Amino acid sequence: MDWLNYHHLLYFWTASQEGSITRAAERLMLSQPTVSGQIRKLEERIGQELFHRSGRELVLTETGELVSRYAERIFTTGRELMDVLTGDAAAHAALRIGIADALPKLVACTLVEPVLHADQPWRIACHEDKHERLLAELALHAFDLVLSDTPVGANARVRAYNHALGDCGVTFFGVAGLATQVRGDFPAALARVPMLLPTPNTMLRRSLDRWFEEKGVQPRVVGEFEDSALLKVFGQRGAGIFPAPSIVRNDVSRQYRVRIIETIEDVREHFYAITLERTLRSPIIAQICNTARERLEGLDR
């Protein structure tokens, strides 16, 4: 079997966290040449560079990013093992959650929040990425579950299972001046005001485009965003009207100081917990799913 030297991996991982050989050496209580030499041996073993320099800082290469993520899991699992062996597992129980980058941050927080109020203390480790990459890493047991607005397709290469959490309508928001222009003539007025939308590759954008077409509205799109949080910041600055799932409408209005214009029920945002298990055996994952379903069902009452 071809073994990896875990001492070399530890020195690399520490340097990747610190962003500096000097700081990594101080943390490891080793000399700088020792740390540099061990990282160089790891690079030789892998056959690719893990860092490149940007001024005085070390910046991870694409391979370095990949190795760093695996190192995080390896050493986190090692710490958890020691906690179990010493009887201190409850204080450090970790739940590893992959969050699709198309899922709005406020929605992700709403779905994950029950973990923080569970009877047993949990430490959450959230990683955001593209839906497809998260599924690939889920297959490698990198996550306990993935939260997404897109289900696993029938033709997916990953054998994983969708646990539907529910769905909700979509709400439009805007600063006071824009909200006043739209009210009373919705949705026709959406063609006369600037509009901020998610990028066309998202489920929400595709659903909205169909709805605009059905209503005969051609929105004046002035900005498209992959990051839903950035979209809201532009909306907060008055750059345009913007949509968000109605499950977080009060949070969006309060946090970004914008007005709720209208909620449409014809466009639905769907949410899924994706796991490698058909039947959820983890009580904390079941709690996440049940709480999400209750909240989403409560919106329609």
In a domain, 81, yes or no: no
In a domain, 78, yes or no: no
Under 8 Å CB-to-CB from 224, ≥6 apart: which residues?
Answer: 196, 197, 198, 199, 200, 205
Contact in structure between 185 and 217 (CB atoms under 8 Å): no
Domain count, the chain: 3
Last residue of a domain, one of 43, 69, 95: 69
- Half-sphere exposure of 130 toward its Cβ, with a 13 Å CA cutoff? 4
> If you search the block for the tokens 């991870």, which residue do you land on?
60
Name the β-bridge partners of 164: 272
Q: What is the mean pLDDT of residues 8-20?
A: 86
Contact in structure between 18 and 38 (CB atoms under 8 Å): no
In a domain, 79, yes or no: no
Identify whether residues 156 and 287 lie together within a single domain. Answer: yes
Identify whether residues 93 and 138 lie together within a single domain. Answer: yes
In a domain, 136, yes or no: yes
In a domain, 74, yes or no: no
Can you tell me the distance from the alpha carbon of 292 to that of 166, in angstroms, rounded to the nearest whole number? 7
Percentage of the chain modeled with pLDDT above 90: 39
Identify whether residues 155 and 283 lie together within a single domain. Answer: yes
Output the six-digit token pair for 73.
Answer: 């899991």
Identify whether residues 188 and 154 lie together within a single domain. Answer: no
Question: How high is the pLDDT of residue 196?
Answer: 97
Task: State which residues form the domain around 43.
Answer: 6-69
Q: State how far the alpha carbon of 285 is from the alpha carbons of 102, 210, 260, in Å.
A: 21, 34, 32
Helices 6-18 and 32-46: angle between axes, nearest 10 degrees: 110
Query: How is residue 151 annotated by DSSP?
Result: P
Identify whether residues 107 and 241 lie together within a single domain. Answer: no
Q: What is the mean pLDDT of residues 27-44?
A: 88
In a domain, 238, yes or no: yes
Identify whether residues 260 and 173 lie together within a single domain. Answer: yes
Instruction: Report residue 97's pLDDT band, with 50, 70 and 90 as the boundaries.
Output: very high
pLDDT at 213 over 80: yes
Identify whether residues 264 and 287 lie together within a single domain. Answer: no
Can you tell me the distance from the alpha carbon of 199 to that of 158, in angstroms, rounded to the nearest whole number? 25
- CATH number for 17: 1.10.10.10
Identify whether residues 92 and 155 lie together within a single domain. Answer: yes
Identify whether residues 64 and 93 lie together within a single domain. Answer: no
Render pLDDT for 60-88 as a digit per residue (tens, 0 to 9): 888 888 888 888 878 877 776 666 666 55
In a domain, 80, yes or no: no
Identify whether residues 104 and 141 lie together within a single domain. Answer: yes
- C-beta neighbour count of 179 within 10 angstroms: 18
Question: How high is the pLDDT of residue 234?
Answer: 97
Identify whether residues 227 and 107 lie together within a single domain. Answer: no
- CATH number for 226: 3.40.190.10
Question: How high is the pLDDT of residue 299?
Answer: 67
